[in-house]
Chain A
Amino acid sequence: MINLEKIVEDTAVELLKKSVTELPTEFLEELKKILTTTNGAVGQAQLRSMITNSELAKKSECPICQDTGVISYIITLGDDFPIRSNLKKILRTATRRATEKIPLRPNSVDIFKGNTGDNTSEDGNIPIIYLELVSGDKLEIIVMPKGGGSSNVSVHKMIKPGLGIVGVKKFIIEAVADAGSLGCPPYFVGVGVGGSEDLCMLLAKKALLKPFKKRNSNSNIAAIEEELLTKLNQLEIGAMGLGEGPTVLDLHVEFTARHPASLPVGVVISCWALRYAKATISKNGEIIYN
C-alpha cells in the first residue's frame, strides 16, 4: 500500500531543494553565452559571478541566493487524483520541512508577531497555493520561490482602455526602466493584460514560466513580445544595473478578455535567478521530474 500523502510531501520538499539550488540549465547556458558577447569588464564581472555562483550552488547543494523567497506552489490537480483538501496541509508541512532541511531563509513575517520562522503564516495564506482543476489522475506541482527584490519592483495599473496596446507597451517600458538596478537585472519579465486587477498579476507571474525564448503562438502577441524585448534592451540598465550587458533575458505577454471600462496591466519582474522546479505524480505514486 503506497502512502501517497507522504510521496507528495517528499516530492514537494525535493522540488523546493531543486528549485533553490539549481538554476535551470537553459538560463545558465544563456548567461554563459551572454558573457561572450558583453563588452565591458564591469558587466562581464557581474555575469561571471552569476555563473560561478550558480555552478557552486548546484555542486554544494546550497541555495543560489540567500533570498529563497516567498514559496508558491502552482498546482494542477486531476479529477481522479485521490488527494483533495489535504493537499494544503501536505504542502505546508513540506514547506516547514524544507525550511529546516535545505535550509531556506525564513521569509514569512507576521507584522505584529515577527518572523514565523518556518515560511508559513498562521492564517494559511503562506505558502501561496494556486490551483487549476483538470481531468485525469495526475497531480502536477511547480514550486516557484520568488525573491523579494524583484517582487518589490513588480507593478500593476488599471490604464485607460482608450490608450490601447500602445498604452500597454508604454507602461511595460516604464515599469522595467523604473525597476532600474533594484531587482537584480538582467530581468525576466512576465506581463498579464486584461482580466481584473488581480488576474492580470497572476497571468504575469505565470507568464514568467512559459518556455524560454519561445514566442507566443498568437502572431500579434509574438510581435509585441519581439518589439518589447528589443526596446527594453535599449534601456541599457545592464547586469546588476551597472550599464553593461543585457537588461532583459526574456519576456512573455499573456492577454485575456477584460471589462469594457478597464484595461488591467500587470508586470511581474524576476531577477536573473528565475527559479522553479516541476514534477508530476500519478495516482499510483509514480513521480516524474520535468
Chain B
Amino acid sequence: MTPIPEFEVRKLEIGDVFFISGTIVTARDEAHKKAIELYESGNRSPIEFKGLAIFHCGPIMKKTENEWKVVAAGPTTSDRMEMFEDLFIEYYRPSVLIGKGGMGERTVNACRKFGCIYGSFTGGAALLAAQGIKKVKNYYWLDELGMPECLWVYEVENFGPMIVTIDSHGSNLTAKILSNVNNKKEKLISEMK
C-alpha cells in the first residue's frame, strides 16, 4: 500500500513477487526529463512521488464525457529511462519502479542508496494491468506531452504481479540473466561454421 515506507522496500529481494495497492503514476522518457529539469531549475513536479510507484507506461486512454478511462496500460521498455532514473530517484524518492526488460547499473545504485526497487511486469499484458487500475485520479502535462508520455495518476488495487528484478541491496536479476546470455552468444559465435 502506497506510500510504501523504506523498511518495507528493504525487505524485498530479487525473485520476490509483489502486488501494489494505492497510487501509481505513469512516466516515460519525456516525463522523466521534464520532472528532472523542473527540479534542477528549483521547481517541483505537480505531484509528490515520494513513496509511490512509477509505472513505465504509455497507456491508451479514452475520454468518456468528463472522465478518462484506461483502455490498455502495460509496461514499456524501461531501459530507455536508464539515462534519467538515478536522478529521478534521488530528486523525488519513489519507492517502486514498474516496467519491463530491466534496468542498468545507474538505477541499481540509486535503488540501493535511496531504498527503491524495480518490478518487472509482463510486457504486452496491457489488459491484465488495466484490470488492477480502479480509477484515474488525475493527469498532468497531457496537452504538452501527449497521451503516451504524460503523467497519469492511477488508483490501483492488487496491481501486479511484478517480480523484483532490482532490489534495494544492489542485486540485478536481469543483469545476471543477460550476462549468461552474453556468454552463450560468445560461445555460439565462436563455434559457428
- CB distance B125 to A53 under 8 Å? yes
CB-CB < 8 A to A149: which residues of B? 76-77, 100-101, 123
CA distance A46 to B100 in the complex (A): 11
A257 at the interface (CB under 8 A from B): no
Counting chain B CB atoms within 10 Å of each CB, the highest count among A106, A170, A181, A273 belongs to: A181
Contact in complex: B71, A181 (CB < 8 Å):
no
Chain B residue with the shortest CB-CB distance to A104: B60
Residues of A contacting B: mostly: loop
How many of chain B's residues have a CB under 8 angstroms from any CB in A?
49
Where chain B touches its partner, the secondary structure class is mixed
Q: Across the interface, which residues of A come within 8 angstroms of B131, CB to CB?
A: 56
| A182 near B146: Cβ-Cβ < 8 Å | no
CA distance A271 to B127 in the complex (A): 17
* Cβ A103 vs Cβ B62 within 8 A: yes
**Stretch from B38-46, B83-91, B183-191 contacting the other chain:** B183-191
* CB within 8 Å for A173 and B185 given contacts A115-B147, A184-B124: yes
The CA-CA distance from A242 to B120 in the complex, in Å, is: 9
In chain B between 51 and 67, which residues have their CB closer than 8 angstroms to a CB of chain A? 57-60, 62
Does the CB pair B60–A103 fall under 8 Å?
yes
Which residue of A109, A117, A181 is within 8 Å of B101 (Cβ)? A181
CB distance from A205 to the nearest CB of B (A): 19
- Among A58-66, A72-80, A259-267, the one that faces the other chain is A58-66
Which of A57, A166, A240 has a CB less than 8 Å from the CB of B127? Answer: A57
Stretch at the interface among A190-198, A206-214, A229-237: A229-237
Convert B165-193 into 0s and 1s, putting 1 for each residue whose CB lies closer than 8 angstroms to a CB of A: 10000000110011011101100110011
State whether the Cβ of B96 lies closer than 8 Å to any Cβ in chain A: no
Which residues of chain B in 105-129 are interfacial with respect to chain A, using CB atoms and an 8 Å cutoff?
Answer: 120, 122-128
- Looking at the assembled complex, report how far the CB atom of B26 sits from the nearest CB atom of chain A, in whole angstroms: 10
Docked Cα-Cα span, A173 to B148, in Å, equals: 32
Nearest-Cβ distance from residue B179 to partner chain A, whole angstroms: 10
B163 interface hit (Cβ, 8 Å): yes
| B77 A50 Cβ-Cβ under 8 A | no
Interface status of B98 (Cβ within 8 A of chain A): no
Q: Which residues of B contact A182 (CB under 8 A)?
A: 77, 79, 101
> What residues of B have a CB within 8 angstroms of the CB of A154 in the complex?
none
Complex: A243 Cα to B84 Cα, angstroms: 27
Contact residues in A for B94 (Cβ distance below 8 Å): none
Chain A residue contacts of B147, Cβ below 8 A = 105-106, 115
B122: chain A residues within 8 A (beta carbon): 45-46, 49-50, 53, 240
In the assembled complex, the Cα of A235 lies from the Cα of B181 at a distance in Å of 5
Contact across chains for A243 and B71 when beta carbons are under 8 A apart: no
CB distance from B64 to the nearest CB of A (A): 11
Q: CB < 8 Å: which of B57, B100, B163 contacts A184?
A: B100
Cβ–Cβ contact B72 & A241, under 8 A = no
Known pairs A66-B60, A106-B148, A181-B102; list 9 more (Cβ under 8 Å). A56-B127, A57-B127, A65-B72, A66-B58, A103-B60, A105-B147, A183-B101, A236-B177, A243-B177
A–B Cβ pairs within 8 angstroms, 16 of them? A53-B127, A56-B131, A65-B126, A67-B76, A114-B146, A149-B77, A149-B123, A152-B77, A173-B188, A180-B181, A181-B177, A234-B184, A235-B184, A236-B184, A241-B174, A242-B174
B→A interface (CB under 8 Å): 15, 17, 57-60, 62, 71-74, 76-77, 79, 100-102, 120, 122-128, 130-131, 144-149, 161, 163, 165, 173-174, 177-178, 180-182, 184-185, 188-189, 192-193
Closest 8 CB pairs of A and B: A115-B146, A177-B185, A184-B123, A49-B122, A66-B72, A53-B125, A243-B177, A66-B126
